Chain A
Amino acid sequence: MREPEPRVIRAAAAGDLDAFGLLVASYQEPISRFLCSLVRDAALAEDLTQETFIRAFDRLGTFEFRSRFSTWLFAVARNLGVDALRQRERRSLLPVRIGPDQPPTDPHLRTEVATALATLSDKLREALLLVEVMGFSCRETGEILGIPDGTVKSRLYLARAQLVAWFEADGEAAEGREVGR
């Protein structure tokens, strides 16, 4: 992800909406993609993407150029996403969760990595997405998530191991379907 020029950030922090518009345009896609993967609800992710930028605008004054702008922005997005997940969990009478032992049987879904990712816990999924998809380092991911690097590495390992196991189980299920036909 390309970092914006500091003068654009400063202009946006000073209230220049044109400058802020440039920041939104540069980051809306990765932020939207991250949130969509995190909350697994496109409409909610779209709302959260908007909210991320509104809050980022409100808090730009606290950005002190000590970290990358993208790290800071993703921390805002991630916090909103996690809040939304918590709210949904609290307010859902029947929370629906696909367990790792339930690989999808629909052949169209079988290849969908998104389905595999959905089997991960929120904590594992967000760490994996930030490193694998968004290209953040373990240290930056730790900054975004507010956890030590070592914890990020552990989560990455667990996420990957679970995905490997899921694909293996899915492969076996697919073989079983072939045999049964």
Chain B
Amino acid sequence: MRCSVAHRLISDRIDDELEPSRADELEQHLTACESCRTFAERLVSVRRQVQLQPAGRAPDVVPRVLARLEQRPTAPAALVARREPARRSSPWPAAAAVFLVAAVVAAGVVGVDGPRDAEAIDASSLVAAGQRELQALAATVEVVEHGWHRDVPVRTYRGTLDYAAPERLRLRLDDRTAYPSGDWHPNDVDLVVDGDQAWGAGRAGCAPNGLPGCLSSVRRVEAVRDRAPFDPAAPVPLDLVLPVASFLVGGAEQPLGEAEVAGRAAVGVEVTAAQIAPLLDGLARHGNWRPVHPTDRALVWLDADVGLPLLVEVRANGGFERDRWAAANGLADGDGEPVLSWRLDQVDLDPADPALPEPPSGVQPRSLGFVAGQADGPEPGWLPEGMQPHRSGRVGSRTVTSYAHGRAWLTVQSTSDWAGTRLFGHASRAVQSVGLGGGGGVAYVPEGGDRVLIHGDGIDVEVAGSLPTGDLLRVAASLGVTGLPVPDDWDEAGSVTLTELGPAWAGLLTLPEDRSTYVGPGVAHTETEVLQTFAGAGDRGFVISQVVGDTLGPPVDAVVLAVDVRDRSARYTPDRGTLEWVEDGRIVTLRSRTLGLEELVRLAAALEPTG
């Protein structure tokens, strides 16, 4: 036996882990080898010293732990765990329900603790199927907002959410907060969308240090008429009803398991607040609300059958950049502390037609220019099953045709006199070019994947909707419009696919498709730079810039951090959301407004060279 083997076996032996079959062999070796005997003695001696090292007096954390648990907000009592049999047979059924719920809700906050036995939850398929089924909804809403102002640490709202597919919705929230004095005005909110009309009312926000004096005593009302179907200029906050924009693409959901919320079966996922930004934005469109950091953790309990957002709890994320942001915004949230919660109850999926009130008298709605009627635009030869014609008409020379199936929607817009120098419809510089197949030419998919843009001969088209990008492309391909490459002087002219970049950009870093939960990349390039845009669920997204160079420029911001990525040093600038490093003669910059340092570091590690 070699001494190195003997040493290993000696170590096993002092743990009583030595295989009996090797005991004799080791004994024989030790008899003959003085050096190994010495090693064995030293090992025992070291062990004794380690075991006898003074422990020091551990601080008593019992009072602080219990105080923290007692101070937690009461969780909704209707949420009762279904997964844990020990709980159901527990002798503390009713009185403990509230705490039990707290345990269930918070269970997923932890990213890495222990084995997580919840199975993966396919929220994307859930909302994709749910949006076709959902015809109507009536529910009560409770919203709790924490940390808005130091004198008003918690604000509580109660109200109703009514919806009739596809674009009639009313959210009403009454602020039930007991304010310190009459100088504070409640944050009552109304939001109504009724097809071609929409209005909302609330008191606009003002600087926290100007409160309460800076709050207006009257609510501001914004009203529009002649609204085109699913007009982004006056959007209907459909993610409040069913968070398709937040979950269709699929983000980085962590499963939380199953539970019962508001008497309905629910599945839970933990995501970042950036992912459910469409939902949070819908809630906060009117009135004054505290800001939420994109990296905050959102525990979302979706109705297991339809995908309704039954319960959403946003908790503060910890970390350096989040703390800086909180300080800059006058907030004092600590890691894990509640920020905002949204809860539906008394859910009725077959309610009477909702009564949608007119805007308050005296308010003159602004016209958005839509005239209902025959659109005369290109018509799809293929539509997803169940899609039915909805509203159609024109806005100036632009034709608008829409289709809907439950909450799912689709619009086709076109124009024959587009004079812009970029693609018709909203697009960023880096778009993804996609072949439409069957002689359909090329189409462009901007970040987010919720639109497909075609530049044709004498016609420009946008197909948009709450459907998967593949369905939008299929609709676009069936319009009978042949897509041409954009003219050289248009903004998107630098858009290429990664494989079209040529040998000068060989080995470019990108996020491999099989590891990506993002749509993209949209790729733009110049002589010296390649830009890739990736968009994920909700507001999640990031950009990779690669520029020829071998040194980072001096830092511009006061606060930068050195971080190790890809076995080299990188620089993180929290105020810009950039992570930069030099690799293989290129300066690589990962940039995101919605992903924190930890996600950027994980992304950096996942990048791989092309080819």
Contacts and interface: CB of A to CB of B under 8 A. Distances in A.
A93 B563 CA distance: 8
Interface string A86-105: 01011101000000000000
A61 to B, nearest CB: 5
A15 B8 contact: no
Interface in A119-162: 128, 131-133, 137-138, 149, 153-154, 156-157, 160-161
B64 A50 contact: yes
Given A117-B50, A167-B46, A28 B60 contact: yes
Interface stretch (B84-92, B181-189, B385-393, B407-415): B84-92
Contacts of A42: 56
A163 interface: yes
B39 A59 contact: no
A113 B48 CA distance: 10
Interface string B84-112: 10110010100011111011101101111
Nearest to A77: B113
Given A62-B116, A65-B86, A133-B50, A14 B100 contact: yes
Given A79-B114, A90-B564, A164 B100 contact: no
Contacts of B60: 28
Interface stretch (B11-19, B246-254, B416-424): B11-19
A128 B90 CA distance: 38
Interface residues of A, number: 64
Contacts of B56: 33, 36, 42
A46 B61 contact: yes
B566 interface: no
Contact of A29 (B8, B42, B55, B70): B55
A24 interface: yes
Contacts of A21: 62, 65-66
B320 interface: yes
Nearest to A9: B86
Interface in A33-88: 33, 36, 42, 46, 49-50, 53-55, 57-62, 64-65, 72, 75-76, 79-80, 82-83, 87
A32 B64 CA distance: 14
A164 B564 contact: no
Nearest to A73: B114
B51 interface: yes
B7 interface: yes
A175 B83 CA distance: 63
Contact of B61 (A53, A58, A60): A53
A93 B562 contact: yes
A109 interface: no
Contact of A11 (B62, B92, B103, B562): B92
A113 B53 contact: yes
Given A11-B92, A164-B43, A29 B58 contact: yes
A42 B49 CA distance: 21
B363 interface: no
Contacts of B49: 113
Contacts of A61: 81, 83-84, 87, 100, 103-104, 107
A33 B62 contact: no
Contacts of A49: 58-59, 61
A132 B86 contact: no
Given A28-B59, A90-B564, A156-B11, 20 more contacts: A10-B90, A14-B96, A14-B99, A17-B69, A28-B62, A50-B64, A57-B65, A62-B117, A64-B86, A76-B113, A79-B110, A79-B114, A87-B319, A90-B561, A90-B563, A133-B53, A149-B17, A157-B11, A160-B46, A168-B42
Interface of B: 7-8, 11-12, 15, 17, 39, 42-43, 46-47, 49-53, 55-56, 58-62, 64-66, 68-70, 81, 83-84, 86-87, 90, 92, 96-100, 102-104, 106-107, 109-114, 116-117, 319-320, 336, 561-564, 597, 601
Q: Which 4 A-B pairs give the minimum distances between C-beta atoms?
A: A15-B99, A58-B106, A32-B58, A157-B11
16 contacts: A10-B87, A11-B90, A14-B87, A20-B69, A24-B61, A46-B61, A49-B58, A53-B61, A58-B109, A58-B110, A80-B113, A90-B601, A131-B15, A138-B15, A153-B8, A161-B7
